[in-house]
Amino acid sequence: MPTIVEKIIAAHSPVKAVKPGDIVELGIDVRVARDFGGANVVKNLEDNGLGVADPARTFFTFDCNPTGSDQKYAGNQQACRVFARNHGIKVYDVDSGIGTHLAVDNGLVGPGDTIVSTDSHANILGALGTFGQGMGDQDIAHAWAYGKVWFEVPATVKVELAGLPKPGTTAKDVGLALLGHFGANGLLGLAAEVYGEYADKLGLDGRLTIASLGTEMGAIIFFFPSNQTILDYCRSRTGREFAPAVADPDAAYQRTERINITGLEPLVSRPGHPEDVVTVASVAGRKIDSAFIGSCTNGRMDDLRAAAEMLKGRKVAPGVVLKIVPSTDTIWQEAMRTGIIETFKQAGALVGNAGCAGCAAGQIGQNGPGEVTVSTGNRNFTGKQGKGDVYLASPETAAASAVAGAIVNPGAMPVRPALFKPKPLAKASHEHRTPPAAPLVVEGRIWLIPRDNIDTDMIFHNRHLTITDVREMGQFAFDNLPGWEHFSKNAQPGDILVTGRNFGAGSSRQQAVDCFRSLKTGLLIARSFGAIYFRNAVNAGFPVMVADLLESGLEDGDHLRVNLATGEIEIQETGVKVQGRPFPPVQLEVYRKGGLLG
């Protein structure tokens, strides 16, 4: 006899009954694309001449990068907005929050409905008794165009939670316990239905937390049978009545797993593997640099209230950064009205706009190399939330650890926080080093760029400013200067750039000089330079000269011979000589020693 998932799939397909392994055409009630993947959905539709079957059931949600701080995300978002205008599609724009949570709180779906999204955690909707699935761009495009997709019916595992955890143990801890039990693939390709006294009493926010972790176990979906509280909530949001699907008493489960959570205590996942679950007590004392509270797993009001309770009257430990991102703007506003945001700010936390945050690398929440973070996210794969170490935990554990300065059980916070111990700086060597002789006469092929006011964003765009290794900078030189985007691929060591007035106008970024050092450019000659740019070049030991060569008959690809000390410039093809400004004594001294700090 059928399980919950089998009943929902059958109700949305042309057949009356289904069994595991059947492949059916699944009708989709709600179809969503995010800013991540949304532009590809649009491209797939337009490239194949497809329309939108039902715009009223079709939505964009911009949650991966709600600040639009990345040029590619900003471009994708705008492409989606234009498509939405042309097809009458609603956009939950950058001020809204996480798409799956918007579907919950805005009544887009309810028990027994189906929804697909470009979000791999769309199965979080199992918390409502909704069949939600994350899918790729082509699947979503097909659902938008035809309102259905093919789907293989999964087998179902019955999960029975026996007993009750210790007081202070949260839904996140129970979810981590399930993750530790099943591992990364223990439910691969399977649906799960969750039963037991604990599950029956669990509120919406707790159900969402556990359901969101199903993806990390390989599950198709985690279903919680709807209780009256969930039904009342969905009715209030949708204006509809629901008769939720329930499994038959003799439903054919693949197997039943009984998991005893009696006395369960707070847990964490160790870095790199969500399924590597241990007790908080076993790693207590591990010094941390930062903590993050948010994501689709723990950005709800219950989560924020719990974190605020830990932070009330306390301060984040010195040197530790606490970042908090509510899951939706509605939750953000409620947290502000109830004083929770004030509590966060008084504790020293950074509160961001609603969205996915660090999980999507599009907002606050990322960490750097060597940084140790306690996060309420659902994934801590290497590189997922940055290049540091990420421990997954509950909001209570994350907040308590931020105050303690180290991983700590929320019920055992120390009186004083753990402090960073400064490491003495290595003593600088004052041994005399003779720099390699910098040539005073430079010869090379020229690149003629007859333009004035070439600014630093044209030279080295701000999207690359996180690069600190000079060796990596050359590839981006002029990649935002129309007509010279391929400069870096064709430049050769020793080449000389010749350009017009005010070269290097704009920002103070050193990379706009260092990208040419990376390419081993021999010399840069301009009619004039931006003041900061000229100083940056001189201090880097990179040769720049003021001279007017644009009226000298010079052609692109000619060769110059330049004496930096005298300022004499000779065009070798014609023998024409032009007088440039000699390097002044300070510039010459810095250049000869290889830079200001050489």
- Could you say which of 210, 244, 260 is where a domain stops? 260
In terms of C-beta density within 10 A (0-12 exposed, 13-18 middle, 19 or more buried), how is residue 325 classed? buried
The CATH number assigned to the domain holding 553 equals 3.20.19.10
**In a domain? residue 434:** no
Cβ neighbours of residue 323 closer than 8 Å, sequence gap 6 or more: 290, 291, 292, 293, 294, 349, 350, 352, 357, 358, 364, 365
Q: Find the mean pLDDT for residues 465-488.
A: 94
pLDDT at residue 385 greater than cutoff 90: no
Q: 311 is in which domain, residue-wise?
A: 267-412
**In a domain? residue 112:** yes
Alpha-carbon span 536 to 579, nearest angstrom: 24
pLDDT at residue 408 greater than cutoff 80: yes
Which stretch of 96-100, 242-246, 527-531 has the lowest confidence by average pLDDT?
Answer: 242-246
Helix (H) or strand (E) segment spanning residue 560 = strand 559-563
Helix (H) or strand (E) segment spanning residue 489 = helix 487-490
Alpha-carbon span 367 to 384, nearest angstrom: 10
pLDDT for the residue numbered 428 = 57
Q: Find the mean pLDDT for residues 534-555.
A: 93
Alpha-carbon span 454 to 447, nearest angstrom: 14
pLDDT for the residue numbered 432 = 53
440-472 residues labelled b (16+ CB within 10 A) or e (exposed): eebebbbbbbebeebbbbbbbbeebeebeeeee
Convert the pLDDT of each residue in 248-270 to its tens digit: 999 999 999 999 999 999 999 99
> If you write DSSP's letter for every residue of 521-533 in order, what string do you get?
--EEEES-B-HHH
In terms of C-beta density within 10 A (0-12 exposed, 13-18 middle, 19 or more buried), how is residue 263 classed? exposed
Q: Are residues 31 and 98 in the same domain?
A: yes
Alpha-carbon span 8 to 166, nearest angstrom: 35
Q: Are residues 192 and 236 in the same domain?
A: yes
Q: Beta strands 131-134 and 114-117: pairing type?
A: parallel
The helix/strand count (H/E) of the chain reads as 20, 25
pLDDT for the residue numbered 415 = 85
pLDDT at residue 67 greater than cutoff 80: no
Q: Find the mean pLDDT for residues 211-218.
A: 93
- Could you say which of 412, 431, 458 is where a domain stops? 412
Helix (H) or strand (E) segment spanning residue 446 = strand 441-449
**In a domain? residue 422:** no
pLDDT for the residue numbered 580 = 96
**In a domain? residue 465:** yes
Q: Are residues 216 and 284 in the same domain?
A: no
Q: Are residues 103 and 209 in the same domain?
A: yes
The DSSP symbol for 548 reads -
Alpha-carbon span 357 to 290, nearest angstrom: 14
Q: Are residues 449 and 556 in the same domain?
A: yes
Q: Are residues 197 and 114 in the same domain?
A: yes
Alpha-carbon span 270 to 384, nearest angstrom: 14
Please choose, from the candidates 153, 150, 147, 149, the residue with its C-alpha nearest in 3D space to the C-alpha of residue 29.
147
Cβ neighbours of residue 302 closer than 8 Å, sequence gap 6 or more: 203, 205, 206
Structure tokens at 436: 């390699």
pLDDT for the residue numbered 68 = 66
Q: Find the mean pLDDT for residues 508-524.
A: 96
Mean pLDDT for all residues in the chain: 93
**In a domain? residue 430:** no
**In a domain? residue 432:** no
Alpha-carbon span 211 to 214, nearest angstrom: 5
Q: Are residues 219 and 297 in the same domain?
A: no
Alpha-carbon span 55 to 399, nearest angstrom: 42
**In a domain? residue 550:** yes
pLDDT band at residue 11 under the 50/70/90 scheme: very high
| Three-class DSSP labels, 229-248 | HHHHHHHHHHCCCCCCCCCC
- Could you say which of 210, 225, 260 is where a domain stops? 260
pLDDT band at residue 433 under the 50/70/90 scheme: low
pLDDT for the residue numbered 361 = 60
Q: Are residues 256 and 311 in the same domain?
A: no
**In a domain? residue 179:** yes
Convert the pLDDT of each residue in 80-90 to its tens digit: 999 999 999 99
Helix (H) or strand (E) segment spanning residue 134 = strand 131-134
Q: Are residues 363 and 452 in the same domain?
A: no
pLDDT at residue 30 greater than cutoff 60: yes
Q: Are residues 192 and 64 in the same domain?
A: yes
- Owner of token pair 């937390």: 209
- HSE-up (13 A, CA, CB side) for residue 313: 1
> If you write DSSP's letter for every residue of 392-440 in order, what string do you get?
E--HHHHHHHHHHTB---GGG--SS-----PPPPPPPP-----PPPPPS
Q: Are residues 336 and 228 in the same domain?
A: no
Q: Could you tell me the strand order of the sheet in which 350-351 lies?
A: 277-279, 267-269, 389-392, 372-375, 290-293, 321-324, 350-351
Per DSSP, helices labelled H in 259-388 are 280-283, 295-298, 301-311, 329-337, 340-347
Convert the pLDDT of each residue in 339-363 to its tens digit: 999 999 999 999 999 988 877 665 6
Q: Find the mean pLDDT for residues 468-476.
A: 95
Taking CA 260 as the corner, what is the angle to CA 254 and CA 261, rounded to the nearest 5 degrees? 125
Please choose, from the candidates 41, 26, 55, the residue with its C-alpha nearest in 3D space to the C-alpha of residue 149.
26
Convert the pLDDT of each residue in 286-336 to its tens digit: 999 999 999 989 999 999 999 999 999 999 999 999 999 999 999 999 999
The CATH number assigned to the domain holding 209 equals 3.30.499.10
Which stretch of 24-33, 170-179, 355-364 has the lowest confidence by average pLDDT?
Answer: 355-364
Q: Are residues 289 and 254 in the same domain?
A: no
What is the tally of structural domains in the chain?
Answer: 3
Which stretch of 327-336, 361-370, 448-457 has the lowest confidence by average pLDDT?
Answer: 361-370
